[in-house]
Amino acid sequence: MSQLALKIVPIAGALGAEIHGVDLARPLGDDVVARIRRALLDHLVVFFRDQRLSHEQLIAFGRRFGVLGRYPFVEGLAAHPEIIEVTKLPHEKSNFGGVWHSDTTYLDEPPMGSMLYALEVPPFGGDTLFANMFLAYERLSDGMKRLLEGLRVVNSSAKADVTRTREDRVAANPGKDAHRVFEATHPAVRTHPESGRKALYVNFAHSARFEGMTEQESAPLLDFLFRHQIQPELTCRFRWEPGSLAFWDNRSTQHNPVNDYHGHLRRMLRITLEGDRPR
């Protein structure tokens, strides 16, 4: 398959693009992989529609972009531990990860990216929002940029708002570290290792306080940043269909799965790609 067959269509001004003309179930040439990687760097999150992927094919596609990692709180599939099933059942009220966040920033080396593949979706609702953290940083005042440049943020897996969103999944299929608390300290502003651009690197789900400060002292500035980084003009919205796949750069985006489909089933498969220590 040649990269000439690919069509990349932006879906919003801030970030996000759909990629058409590629069957992810087939072996991809190096030129096609390079084009997808370039689109990811340019648009921060890319989407594919009408895919039909087995577990093995999803894993093979993910491995073209890096080493697959594991999620600490939920066990992967028995035959394919690299994949976790992200399901909300009709009777459940909370959805998995249902707040604005960047994946697992409480780890010393958070993932570089994640892929989510839709198996079953509700008849309406269940969209995912994404936000551009490059723009979130660039639209801060020069004074705020100077203040943040020297600050580091303590990220915790134990913040109450996000722990509630994974209770059902942990109860159903706990991982070996299901009851462990993870903490990691990262710069408030990180430099992307490939593009060199600076991104705001705090998030509502995991960022608890600034290093050397109490949570109470940190709260006013963190609260401002949490509101600032999800302004509508910094975001895009993706409507899922069965066979849709999203691939986002965890180093420069945040996402929020909208929990507006009570009484309906939503079933997805997720894999993550190992990353590096934020700098």
State pLDDT tens for residues 114-130.
999 999 999 999 999 99
Give the model confidence (pLDDT) of 168-220 as tens digits: 555 566 656 556 889 999 999 999 999 999 999 999 999 999 999 999 999 99
Question: Using 50, 70 and 90 to split pLDDT, how confident is the model at 159?
Answer: confident
Mean pLDDT of the chain: 93
For the segment 51-87, what is each residue's pLDDT rounded down to a tens digit? 999 999 999 999 999 999 988 888 999 999 999 999 9
Residue, of 2 and 74, whose pLDDT is higher: 74
Lowest mean pLDDT among 28-37, 133-142, 163-172: 163-172
Domains and CATH numbers, the chain: 3-273 (3.60.130.10)
The token pair at 86 is 């992200």
Please give the share of the chain, as a percent, with pLDDT higher than 90: 86
DSSP string, 49-116: -S----HHHHHHHHHTSS-B---SSB---SS-TT-EEEEE-TT--S-TT-SSB-TTTTSSS--SEEEE
Q: Is the pLDDT of residue 3 over 80?
A: no
| pLDDT exceeds cutoff 90 at 139 | yes
| H-only helix segments in the chain | 30-43, 55-63, 133-138, 142-149, 160-163, 167-172, 215-228
Q: Which are the catalytic amino acids?
A: 101, 103, 255, 270
Q: Evaluate if residue 30 carries a pLDDT over 70.
A: yes
